[in-house]
């Protein structure tokens, strides 16, 4: 096995681990939101940092679950408002009033 293939395998292994950790952090943020909302915000920040450090893209389902401006975990109906406008979802963060269209 050449050196290049070993390095490629190592990179994919690291990216897989990073993806798993990001998914786990979002699950924990969902569980902890009603008891400790600040802790769930911290989990989101950590997931975002892991994604940037290891160059792993966050799936769209996770991107829609936090505010990009204030980095808070969003729970629709509690701290986020969702409206459907011309077949697009408009998500408004109620903490910082930031608007995202998906």
Q: For residue 45, with 0-12 CB atoms within 10 Å meaning exposed, 13-18 middle and 19 or more buried, which class applies?
A: middle
Q: Is the pLDDT of residue 1 over 80?
A: no
Structural domain count, the chain: 1
pLDDT band at 6 (very low <50, low <70, confident <90, very high): confident
CA distance 74 to 59: 15
As a whole number, mean pLDDT of residues 42-56 equals 96
CATH at 68 = 1.20.5.420
Sheet holding 99-101, edge to edge: 80-85, 88-93, 99-101
The pLDDT-based confidence of 100 (bands split at 50, 70, 90) is very high
Radius of gyration (C-alpha) of the chain in whole angstroms: 16
How many of the other CB atoms lie within 10 Å of CB of 58? 19
Question: What mean pLDDT is predicted for residues 57-65?
Answer: 92
Average pLDDT of the residues in 41-63? 95
Confidence of residue 102 (pLDDT cuts 50, 70, 90): confident
Q: Domain of residue 38: give its range.
A: 3-101
Please check the confidence at residue 22 and state whether its pLDDT lies above 90: yes
Model confidence at 13: pLDDT above 80: yes
């Amino acid at each position: 096995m050449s050196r290049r293939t070993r390095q490629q395998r190592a990179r994919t292994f690291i990216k897989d681990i990073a993806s798993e950790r990001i998914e786990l952090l979002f699950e924990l943020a969902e569980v902890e939101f009603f008891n400790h909302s600040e802790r769930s915000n911290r989990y989101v920040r950590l997931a975002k940092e892991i994604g940037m450090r290891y160059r792993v893209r966050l799936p769209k389902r996770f991107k829609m679950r936090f505010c990009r401006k204030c980095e808070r975990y969003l729970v629709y109906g509690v701290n986020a408002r969702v409206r459907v406008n011309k077949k697009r979802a408009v998500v408004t963060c109620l903490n910082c009033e930031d608007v995202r269209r998906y």
